[in-house]
Structure 1
Amino acid sequence: MALLLLIVPVAHYFRFLTVGLVLAITPILTTLNMCFYPAQMSALPKILDKKLLTQGNSLFSIAIKHRSGLQCVFRRFDYCTRRCFALFMELVGIFHRRSFVYPTENQNTNQ
């Protein structure tokens, strides 16, 4: 997995990073992650003492479950930020258009 993840910055450094490369790597990483999750869960009892196993299992489960919750929060923040920026740019455009004096037909004929 680490080698696959390193392909992206290396490809960017050598300027051959493409959308196709990222789209090819993503399903492979997702499939590998599906295999590693059970392995991580089975390795937990080997790493922790029996006294800490319940707490470690709980913390590991919280980390996995809240990862998707945090993604939801960051998506909402991203949406709000984009909307505020779009509103700001629209207001700037309105004020920018009002600052110009567009010539009328009478002004064009007098010159």
Structure 2
Amino acid sequence: MIAHVGDFGLAKFLSDVAQTSSLGVKGSIGYIAPEYGMGGEASTQGDVYSYGILLLEMITGKGPTDEMFKDNLSLHHFSKSSLPEHVMNIVDPFLLIEARSQCYSRQ
């Protein structure tokens, strides 16, 4: 559970700036929306995507640039392919241990 600084809110700052190439894309690799790499403009939907990746990282314990994510596999696709039937297979075991210990401490 290590905190990371996010790039959320980029759309608010970049909406007035014309984006004509991917060289102007701001953000962290793995967190920026795929359409930004194809010249798409910054948007609130891109910010939602970035926030979602952060949530997936917290739930799975895997970062978007983990070495297992190559050959068109991403944290997003990894998580999506496990939903809803196999969600417990991708949840970070540390979260489950913490949840159990909190349950027992309440009893």
Q: TM-score, normalised by structure 1?
A: 0.24
Q: TM-score, normalised by structure 2?
A: 0.24
Q: Could you say which structure has the greater relative contact order, defined with CA pairs below 8 angstroms and 6 or more residues apart?
A: 2
